[in-house]
Amino acid sequence: MREMAVAGTDNADHWGLAGLLHDIDIAETSSDLTRHGAGGAQILRDLGFDAAVIHAVHAHDNRAGVARTSRLDHAVYCADQIYFIG
């Protein structure tokens, strides 16, 4: 994810964090994936993460119903689709 960030435009640290943390809630939400993303966003919000990282995590799965509005949001979604195996 950091490599996908555009130097001088995107915050590579935010991109890296969103990529690493986008499934932080999967153990808690695997039985109800409509909650996936929302749980992760809340965890990150409680820990004081940047709003852009929180939104990207919340929006990375279509089942959350959260619109992707930034390049970061779309990048996490695309990376997740490439990686997803099941």
Domains in the chain: boundaries: 2-83
Decide if pLDDT at 18 tops 90: yes
Q: pLDDT band for 43, please (50, 70, 90 cuts).
A: very high
* Position 17, amino acid: L
- Residue 57: Cβ within 10 Å count: 33
DSSP 35-66: STTHHHHHHHHHTT--HHHHHHHHHSSGGG--
Q: What is the mean pLDDT of residues 44-59?
A: 98
Q: What is the mean pLDDT of residues 70-78?
A: 96
Decide if pLDDT at 6 tops 60: yes
pTM (2 d.p.): 0.91
The pLDDT assigned to 9 comes to 95
Decide if pLDDT at 82 tops 90: no
